[in-house]
Structure 1
Amino acid sequence: MSKTTPVGSSTASAPAPKSASRRQLPEWLKFSQWSLRSKMVMATLALLTAICFIVGLVCFASMSVVLNGRLKETLLNTSRQVTTYVASGNTNPATYPGVGYGTLIAQVKGGVLLTQPTLVSNVVGSKNVEASDISTIASVEPTDGQVDKHLSFGDYRFIAVPLSDGTTVITGIPTDDVNDPLATLISTIILVSASGLLAMGLVGTVIIRRAMAPLNQLSAVATRVSQLPLNEGEVTLAERVPSSAANHNTEVGAVGLALNRMLDNVAQALQARQRSETKVRQFVADASHELRTPLTAIRGYTEMLRMTEDLSPSGEKSLSRVESQSKRMGAMVEDLLTLARLDEGKPLELADTEMTQLVLETVNDMKVAIGDHRWQLDLPSDPFIIKADAGAIRQVLLNLLSNAAKHTDAGTVVVTSLRNVENNMLRLSVRDSGPGIAPEFQADIFDRFSRADVARSGHDGTTGLGLSIVHAIVQAHGGKITLKSEPGHTEFMVDLPRGIAPTPQG
């Protein structure tokens, strides 16, 4: 029984998409990927090539018309003389006056050669033509007019003239007077054009490179400015386009002048921002110092009230609330003072710090303070000693561990590890198995007062200063901190120099 194949169920493989079958051009062949200098040189060479081609074509056509006209007149005159002498009964071509060297003469009647075609020579008069060319010569008809034929010894132009007795006189002259000058002209045009294009390419490249030099200077200045850390701290924007590339005389110079004006404006804006930030930071530092004493007094009086007064449950609750909020405010003040000291660039108390012991002690303290998390260590057996401020590094680790505890649920695993990394750096990392940090928050996580939670009350509320303090301390040690976070894995990695005293940063 035959099987019917449903329509559209053909087993033939579908043709590959056109885009898949096309071969991608290399980058260097894509005109859009070329530099402006290369485009200008190639455009100039292309224009010059077109001009050379057109000029050469016009010269060749003009020369061809002149030479072919001259050859036509020569053939007509020669044919007229040969026909006259043949009609008078003279059969010796060598005796024909005015017949030039290389002239071919033949007589045909009724399709039959009456005489052997002869080639007039300037040496011995005339000589016979080879048999292989006879049929080609005999094929010339009076109706053909002037016709070119290729013979074994060269190219010829023929004309056939009928006589009154039925005889046809065939006369041919070589086309060397046309072909040789045209070949020489073509060779000359190609040689001169190629030399001109080569010279133009070299000279044009040099000229365009010099003309584009100011653009390179503009690009270099813009690149250096783009690499400056303009987002924070005191910035000195001294980069400017040289005066040779910044003037009103040229288009590129006008761009350079505009770039310098823009940089002046940006520098002024950065200076204004720095002055404003300095005032704000000074105010925060002064306010923090002023708040320290009253906050200490509030905590002292709350403790005194608790010890000396018999409070009702409601009063006890209110007093506890005052005490907890004063402690929270005090912690914020201490954080602000720490940042103020770092901003002032005060030198760190650098000393040989044994990191393994420091990490072990700090994590053990966290186990006691926050027991509902699973605190784990991944430490090497050998001690890691670096030049650092032990108190500041301890605060870095405490802030990272506290951050992990505040933003993860009870039972979350928090692992602290130490290991060597490249460039003689030591990596201190804190990772947890919590829900992770939102991607949109990760870019700003080290900014001051940056908070993922919007609430500012409750025991999990944060000031938004902990990670900014970590960032500032790490930078002051000449290190860096990076974050890698996804659901189920969040890791803060602190890289610190090993064995090299860092330069404090303001």
Structure 2
Amino acid sequence: MTTLSGVSRKTQRNLLDPSTWHLRTRLVLVAMALLVAICGAVGIVSYASMDAVFNRQLDKQLEQASNRAIEFGRPPSSFPSGRPDPLEARGQGAGTLSARIDGAIVRGGGLIDAAGNRAPLSAQDEQVLLALPLDNRPVDRSLSNGDYRLVAVKTPYGDVIVTGLPLADKQTSEASLVWTMVFVSVGGLVLIGLAGTVIIRRTMRPLEQLSEVATKVSRLPLDAGEVALAVRVPPSASHPGTEVGSVGYALNQMLNNVARALEARQESETKVRQFVADASHELRTPLTAIRGYTEMLRMTESFTDDGWKSLARVQSQSERMTTLVEDLLLLARLDEGQPLKVGDVDLTQLVIETVSDEKVMAPDHVWQLRLPEEPITVRGDGTQLHQVLANLLSNARKHTDPGTTVVTGVMLSADGSAVVTVTDNGPGIPADFQGRIFSRFARADAARSGSEGTSGLGLSIVESIVGAHGGSVEVTSKPGRTEFALRLPLVSSERV
């Protein structure tokens, strides 16, 4: 649960980080954000403009209604208190509010309902009317019957005539305008989102093609062997006339240059391998002759003590050079991909025999076995697999001190492959050397003790033979424990 929660939080952080989004997603969101801003600005301006137009129209109607109320409510000179009710003025429409204020008293206040009848004002409404400013300027107030636009005009007769018109029609029109703009804007956003996604996806398709080509090239094994670099950006995405096309064209040019360089490298490697194979083959004859003549001299001639030492030195160096030549010739054959002599190989028995040979050569080491109860059989070349084990055991013997424990084990892994391990408790291999330990002629004599010289080809031969069998080899090392692990398929395809 902790792992899933951690992954969920990481995913959420990635979703909240715009730098991790796809470019097309950001472009669509930017386009929609701009559209939202434009729609918002248009909506605000339109709403403000329509509100100003409605207010002007309403103020004009309010001014006319106020004038009619004032004119109708003009008192007779003999009896001012008997002035007629301004609500009775002709031409006042439904919803019109009129009231006369004498001092702090509202007289004759009311409004015309939808049926044309008079409706009284509440006490709360009268308090709102009494609080109106006497500057002849229309103001909006909320009454018990809804929102009204009111104006209070002081007449020459000392009283105040209040006239009002309802804001319901204005508010309904403005609400209709707002909802219309909202629906239009949302519809526009949806259309822009869909159309923008399609258009931007098509526009970004050349970039995706460039990415696909670069990804395919990044997965090709370019470090060794013959490489067919046939991946190219399609012509539709490599026109120099456009920005993306220029990038595609430049990428194709780069790939052409890399392909030529790989071909030159492969040709050079082929020549070197052929030279090594030819030289190794040619050197076998004189080395055999040297060893033969050395043996003949040992059997037919008499030498001083120094002469015998020199002759022994010649013989040992010729044998060492013969081993080196045989190793080089084997690597050349493996590089050429020569077929293996495939058969059933009992790894358990092979390990027992190889360890027994090493035990005779190095009795000062402790040799141990960890074997399964049942034999493990693989398909492969028995001779070459024997050389792999011999090289690993010889490597452990040569680079560790007397008394070192070397454990050789055979087991089945969870993926169904056979695993052979060679582990010692020697001083270990430096971390900076482990990355190139399987390279040819790689040696780190200072890393692990030992007096025997090596050519630096043993582990390279191990990797090449195991690779030819469809397996892998890896090393893990630290002071006090070094382990080489071979993985071989139980059934390997026969090479033809």
TM-score class, shorter-chain normalisation, is: over 0.9
Aligned to 1:331, which of 323, 330, 344?
Answer: 323
Q: What is the CA distance between 1:101 and its match in structure 2?
A: 1.9
Does structure 1 residue 51 correspond to structure 2 residue 38? yes
Partner of 2:93: 100
Q: Distance in 2 between matches of 1:390 and 1:491?
A: 22
Aligned length: 479
Partner of 2:201: 209
Aligned to 1:29, which of 8, 16, 24?
Answer: 16
Q: Is the 8 A contact 2:380 2:492 kept in 1?
A: no
Deviates more, 1:105-114 or 1:445-454: 445-454
Deviation per residue, 1:143-189 (Å, 9 max, x gap): 47322110121101111111233211111111234322221111111
Partner of 2:374: 382
Aligned to 1:319, which of 296, 311, 319?
Answer: 311
Aligned to 1:86, which of 73, 76, 87?
Answer: 73
Q: Is the 8 A contact 1:474 1:480 kept in 2?
A: yes
- In structure 2, stretches of 5+ residues that fail to align are 1-8, 77-82
Deviates more, 1:164-173 or 1:245-254: 245-254
Q: Distance in 1 between matches of 2:113 and 2:266?
A: 102
Deviation per residue, 1:332-389 (Å, 9 max, x gap): 0000111111122211111111111111000000000112211111001201111111
Identity among equivalent pairs (%)? 51
For the structure 1 residues 182 and 451, does the alpha-carbon distance in structure 2 shift closer, same or farther, using more than 3 Å as the test? same
Aligned to 2:106, which of 100, 110, 113?
Answer: 113
Q: What is the CA distance between 1:454 and its match in structure 2?
A: 7.6
Deviation per residue, 1:221-247 (Å, 9 max, x gap): 211211111111111111112222222
Aligned to 2:422, which of 427, 430, 435?
Answer: 430
Q: Distance in 2 between matches of 1:502 and 1:184?
A: 81
Give the alignment of 1:269-284 within 5 angstroms. 269-284=261-276
Q: Distance in 2 between matches of 1:77 and 1:438?
A: 102
For the residue of structure 2 that corresponds to 1:87, the secondary structure is coil
Aligned to 1:492, which of 475, 481, 484?
Answer: 484
Q: Distance in 2 between matches of 1:454 and 1:336?
A: 24
Q: What is the CA distance between 1:311 and its match in structure 2?
A: 2.2
Q: What is the CA distance between 1:478 and its match in structure 2?
A: 0.9
Deviation per residue, 1:416-455 (Å, 9 max, x gap): 1111113321111111111211111112111212222389
- In structure 1, stretches of 5+ residues that fail to align are 1-22
Q: Distance in 1 between matches of 2:106 and 2:233?
A: 90
Q: What is the CA distance between 1:293 and its match in structure 2?
A: 1.4
For the residue of structure 2 that corresponds to 1:26, the secondary structure is helix
Q: Distance in 2 between matches of 1:46 and 1:113?
A: 54
Q: Distance in 2 between matches of 1:370 and 1:357?
A: 20
Q: CA RMSD in A?
A: 2.0
Q: Distance in 1 between matches of 2:174 and 2:363?
A: 101
Aligned to 2:218, which of 195, 207, 226?
Answer: 226
Aligned to 1:267, which of 259, 265, 287?
Answer: 259
Q: TM-score, normalised by structure 1?
A: 0.90
Partner of 1:448: 440
Q: Distance in 2 between matches of 1:231 and 1:70?
A: 83
Give the letter aligned to residue 32 of structure 1. S
For the structure 1 residues 454 and 327, does the alpha-carbon distance in structure 2 shift closer, same or farther, using more than 3 Å as the test? farther
For the residue of structure 1 that corresponds to 2:111, the secondary structure is strand
Partner of 1:39: 26
Q: What is the CA distance between 1:108 and its match in structure 2?
A: 1.1
Provide runs of 4+ in structure 1 moved above 6 Å: none
Deviates more, 1:90-99 or 1:281-290: 90-99
Partner of 2:353: 361
Give the letter aligned to residue 28 of structure 2. V
Q: TM-score, normalised by structure 2?
A: 0.92
Does structure 1 residue 157 correspond to structure 2 residue 143? no
